[in-house]
């Protein structure tokens, strides 16, 4: 129960930062592919947060406490305020590269968090969602790095079948 609660709280906070970062790219990305991918990130992570919030209320019958500053700093891939400012201040001609580097770091951290939950003895519904999150985040990393076509599909299938993270 404690591990489930910690994972839900941490992934909710992690996703909230991911949404904030992706919204910047929705507004600033130069590449239309990247802008559309950022829109997908906002939608998928917002939906996952809603699921976490609903599960929390129905499973634990209380409001979800926010993560502390220390918890956030200890999360894999959770960006420091300076890193967020760097993305916001990136010049237009460098924005896409800065965003891809920063969001890749953020997503790799989320995939590691999800992998730990997947391999835990936690609630099976939560473990299944964690499994989906880790592969979605890895897929988005590949798309940000211009993976496409059959090679992108082959990499995704290899990762899934081999149970690879990052």
Contact of 100 with 144, CB cutoff 8 Å: yes
Long-range contacts of residues 67-71, Cβ cutoff 8 Å, at least 24 apart: 67/9, 67/10, 67/13, 71/9, 71/10, 71/13
Res 94 pLDDT > 80: yes
Structure letter (DSSP) for residue 119: T
Task: Kindly state the percentage of the chain with pLDDT values over 90.
Answer: 83
Four-residue CA torsion sign, 37, 40, 27, 76: negative
Measured CA to CA, the distance from residue 133 to residue 26 in angstroms comes to 21
Structure letter (DSSP) for residue 164: -
Give the residue extent of every domain in the chain. 2-162
The pLDDT of residue 150 is 74
Res 148 pLDDT > 70: no
Residue 149 binned pLDDT confidence (cut-offs 50, 70, 90): low
CATH topology of domain 2-162: Ferritin (1.20.1260)
> 16-53, pLDDT tens digit by residue?
999 999 999 999 999 999 999 999 999 999 999 999 99
CA distances 78 to 10, 18, 65, Å, are 10, 9, 18
Residue 5 binned pLDDT confidence (cut-offs 50, 70, 90): very high
């Amino acid at each position: 129960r404690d591990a489930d609660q910690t994972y839900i709280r941490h992934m909710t906070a992690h996703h909230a930062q991911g949404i904030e970062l992706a919204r910047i790219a929705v507004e600033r990305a130069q590449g239309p592919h990247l802008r559309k991918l950022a829109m997908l990130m906002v939608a998928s992570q917002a939906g996952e947060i809603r699921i976490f919030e609903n599960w929390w209320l129905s499973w634990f019958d209380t409001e979800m406490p926010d993560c502390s500053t220390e918890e956030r700093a200890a999360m894999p891939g959770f960006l420091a305020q300076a890193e967020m400012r760097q993305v916001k201040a990136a010049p237009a001609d460098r924005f896409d590269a800065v965003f891809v580097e920063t969001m890749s770091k953020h997503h790799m951290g989320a995939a590691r968090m999800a992998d730990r939950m997947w391999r835990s003895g936690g609630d099976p519904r939560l473990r299944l969602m964690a499994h989906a999150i880790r592969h979605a985040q890895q897929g988005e990393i590949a798309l940000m790095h211009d993976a496409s076509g059959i090679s992108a599909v082959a990499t995704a299938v290899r990762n899934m079948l081999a149970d690879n993270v990052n």
